Amino acid sequence: MSNLADFFQSIEIFSGLSQAQLETLSTIFQKKTYHDGDQIVTQGEVSDLFFVILDGFVNVHRNGVFVANLGKGDYFGEAALFHDVKRTATITSNQDVEILVVPKKDFLEFLESHPEAAFKVLYRMLKLLVFRLDQTSHELQFERRKAVTQDAIDQLFS
């Protein structure tokens, strides 16, 4: 198995694929290097690229506010695989970083030609999406509770 196929095996959304499927998957991605401070994705742009971080770290900003730090094995841009959507965040490298990139067309061709792999990948993507939505919902609930002022609490109990 190639090193890239081994790497894909370690990523949750690809972990259920066979060796042959992982080998094929590794051929459709292109490796790109970004340097410290390079902007990889810009919020608001439309793009059909899906990214997987091979090595290094990137920062995620939404509306200029830091949201997250992503590293080896993390991915972003998956929404672009399913419909034309504007990027919801700006991704910037915070050191030299190697990223694997695949256009929507190539990724979908892989899924169409490997239906069993498609089921496994899409199922895992959906599970992670539901988890992220649930996590975001909890964070929003916490922020709403945090936004309640002491005066409002006092009024409830007066």
pLDDT digits (tens, 9 = 90+) for 8-57: 999 999 999 999 999 999 999 999 999 999 999 999 999 999 999 999 99
Residue 155 inside a domain? The answer is no
Q: What is the per-residue pLDDT for 128?
A: 86
Average pLDDT over residues 143-156: 63
**Phi and psi at residue 12, in whole multiples of 5°?**
-50, -45
Residue 156 inside a domain? The answer is no
Q: Which residue has the higher pLDDT, 83 or 90?
A: 90
- For residue 46, the domain's CATH number is 2.60.120.10
d(CA 36, CA 151): 46
**Phi and psi at residue 30, in whole multiples of 5°?**
-110, 140
Residue 158 inside a domain? The answer is no
Residue 142 inside a domain? The answer is yes
User: Is the model's pLDDT at 147 over the cut of 70?
Assistant: no
Q: Is 47 helix (H, G, I), strand (E, B) or coil?
A: coil
Domain that holds residue 78: 3-149
Contacting residues for 40 by C-beta, under 8 A, at least 6 apart: 34, 51, 58, 91, 92, 93, 99
* Total tally of structural domains belonging to the chain: 1
* Single-letter code of the amino acid located at 5: A
Give 149's pLDDT tier (boundaries 50, 70, 90): low
Read off the pLDDT of residues 102-133 as tens digits, 9 standing for 90 and up.
999 999 999 999 999 999 999 998 998 888 78
